[in-house]
Structure 1
Amino acid sequence: MTTTASAPRHGVSSFFHRNPRLRLTALLSAPMLWLGLAYLGALAALFVTAFWHTDTFTGQVVRDWTLDNFRTLVTDEVYRTITLRTLGIAALVTVIDAVIAFPMAFAMAKFCSPRTQRILVIAVMTPLWASYLVKAYSWRIMLSGDGVISWLGTPFGVDSPGYGVFATVLTLSYLWLPYMILPIYAGLERLPESLVDASGDLGARPWRTFRSVILPLTFPAIVAGSIFTFSLSLGDYIAVRIVGGTSQMLGNVVYDNIGAANNLPFAATVATVPVVIMLVYLAAVRRTGALNNL
């Protein structure tokens, strides 16, 4: 009976072995189905809702197709300002993290022993295990008028910057820094030492070696890290609410229209802006090979 029962299993195994594409399709069907229903389905619902509107008298969603929400988003100066501010903050956070992360990742990959590398990787990942709110409120306490920054800067005549756009950029740069360090570290670790040595043997100075050899080969890793920092900053609304003072980002507009304003169609319209921006950004960076470093 054991032989008879195992025969169908062997037959199925042999069938999938002879058809590798079918085997791959069977393995990916469940996760792809989940992706299609949970993620792409939610995005489709978001885009559809963006073309509806809310009845100002009853507060109910009216399922009539209209472009009024998009027209308001484009023509209203307040929303244009918020969109530009969000883009500027996300870009600035990405640049700051890249400038800080590269020398850290380079030291980890090229100057540290394997044991030290493991310790430093754990140290970089440790902040990710802490609560987002704990880290954000820690920066709120430090940036307050009687916080640590003000206390340390008082003898030198330096006061705390307080809450606002600067505090938001500072907090987001801290929050997303590990997402920039790890891809760059992985890219530098794969960089062959022979190329750096060959550049030196040919008479290139350290700066020329960095500019002509190291930076071009690790640029896809930098772009891969920027995908995380840029997208996470683009959609964030908690940090700016905690340390941003009166500043607003697109995420705050979405949150306010879901809650207090109870205008789900307009919230969906605003939410499409980061999605479209990231789609354009991913299409632009696809040719750099950055997606292969994720």
Structure 2
Amino acid sequence: MTTNAPTRHPLPARRAGFARKGSAFLATHPRARLAFLLTAPLFWLVVVYVVALALLLVTAFWSVDSFTGEITTEWTMDNIITVLTGSLYQTVTLRTLGVALAVTIVDVLLALPIAFYMAKVASPRMQRILVILVLTPLWASYLVKAYAWRSVLSQDGILEWLVSPFGGHTPGYGLPATIITLSYLWLPYVILPIYAGLERVPDSLLEASGDLGGRAWPTIRLVVFPLVLPAIIAGTIFSFSLSLGDYITVNIVGGASQMLGNLVYTNVGAANNLPLASAIALIPIVIIFGYLFLVRRTGALDNL
């Protein structure tokens, strides 16, 4: 009597051999290993970011049927012409640029002394404490922080209570309140790149400047500032770009003021005009890409 022996499939052995060969290949080819690791995230970035921007650009050249409210996929330049020539959009664009520049300047002026103290003056233990304090606001909700400033800047808020005995008054709601709130929100994003840039400045350069008779301000201006300039510009990229596209803060503390983000939100929601909203959204995108193009040679992008 003969029995049929179970058939052994060589598939698992082949898979194990293929895995070993693949591991050996990746171990000896670092570029292939890097490409293998980056393929999935780069694919996701291309699909989510690049394709989304491309669709946004395409949508800006469509129109909305005034009768049905449906999007018409016929190519037209009407939205682009409306955004470029309309006085409302020009005014709001200039206002948004002014707010973004003001927030950036305020954040840089506040971040420089804080980052310098953290990197060059504070002890290692104090450095760690200060880094934690800088990062702590990032753990809180964006809306909570914005509404907290709304409470502070209100007519009956704590700021009014502090300055009223001296005859002062709060700025109330409007563009000043928007600049104050956005400056607070984005300040950690400016401090951290500058702090990292200052940490890379050798202490021996500061000591050499002092030995050669250099005082504090000339040392900072002639020695420290040129070395830390790329880090400063890296911080401005965060504050400028985030302020340029923000629309929530101006809704909370801006009063009747409008920025580009508000126009985009209004046309997407209430007006149901996605092509016009896409055309408006192209303005901050073009401004940001133009700014990145201008600063690319400063080395700021290497500090992000």
TM over 0.5: yes
Shift of 1:203: 1.8
Shift of 1:107: 0.6
Match of 1:192 in 2: 202
Shift of 1:7: 3.8
Match of 1:72 in 2: 82
Q: Say whether 1:132 aligns with 2:137.
A: no
Match of 2:302 in 1: 292
SS of match in other structure, 2:201? coil
What code does the residue aligned with 1:20 have? P
Q: Among 174, 179, 191, which residue is 1:169 paired with?
A: 179
What code does the residue aligned with 2:52 have? A
Shift of 1:18: 3.6
Shift of 1:3: 8.7
Shift of 1:150: 1.1
Q: Say whether 1:213 aligns with 2:213.
A: no
Shift of 1:183: 0.6
1:177-218 CA distances to partner (integer Å, 9 max, x unpaired)? 000011111111111001111111222221111111001100
More displaced stretch, 138-147 vs 246-255: 138-147
CA distance in 2, matches of 1:287, 1:82: 30
SS of match in other structure, 1:139? helix
CA distance in 2, matches of 1:100, 1:281: 22
1:197-240 CA distances to partner (integer Å, 9 max, x unpaired)? 11112222211111110011001111111111011000000000
Q: Among 234, 238, 255, which residue is 2:265 paired with?
A: 255
Q: Say whether 1:223 aligns with 2:200.
A: no
What code does the residue aligned with 1:221 have? A
Q: Among 29, 51, 73, which residue is 2:61 paired with?
A: 51
1:77-134 CA distances to partner (integer Å, 9 max, x unpaired)? 1110000110111011001000000000101111111111111101001001101111
CA distance in 1, matches of 2:213, 2:81: 59
Q: Say whether 1:9 aligns with 2:39.
A: no
What is the count of residue pairs matched by the alignment? 294
Match of 1:281 in 2: 291
More displaced stretch, 17-26 vs 37-46: 17-26
CA distance in 2, matches of 1:272, 1:92: 22
Match of 1:23 in 2: 33
Q: Among 135, 146, 156, which residue is 2:156 paired with?
A: 146
Match of 1:99 in 2: 109
TM-score by length of 1: 0.97
What code does the residue aligned with 1:285 have? V
CA distance in 2, matches of 1:136, 1:15: 52
Shift of 1:259: 0.7
More displaced stretch, 57-66 vs 247-256: 57-66
CA distance in 2, matches of 1:62, 1:253: 21
Match of 2:4 in 1: none
- Equivalent pairs: percent with the same residue? 61
What code does the residue aligned with 1:267 have? A
SS of match in other structure, 1:178? helix
1:149-190 CA distances to partner (integer Å, 9 max, x unpaired)? 111111111011111110000000000000001111111111
Q: Say whether 1:39 aligns with 2:39.
A: no
CA distance in 2, matches of 1:81, 1:161: 22
Gap change, CA 1:58 and 1:3, over 3 Å in 2: closer
What code does the residue aligned with 1:264 have? L
Match of 1:61 in 2: 71
Q: Which runs of 5+ in 1 are unaligned?
A: none
Q: Say whether 1:158 aligns with 2:168.
A: yes
SS of match in other structure, 2:94? helix
Shift of 1:6: 4.7
Q: Among 274, 280, 300, which residue is 1:264 paired with?
A: 274
1:33-78 CA distances to partner (integer Å, 9 max, x unpaired)? 1111111111111000000011122111111111111111111111
CA distance in 2, matches of 1:255, 1:219: 35
Q: Alpha carbon RMSD of aligned pairs, Å?
A: 1.5
CA distance in 1, matches of 2:86, 2:262: 16
Q: Say whether 1:179 aligns with 2:193.
A: no
CA distance in 1, matches of 2:118, 2:237: 22
CA distance in 2, matches of 1:16, 1:121: 38
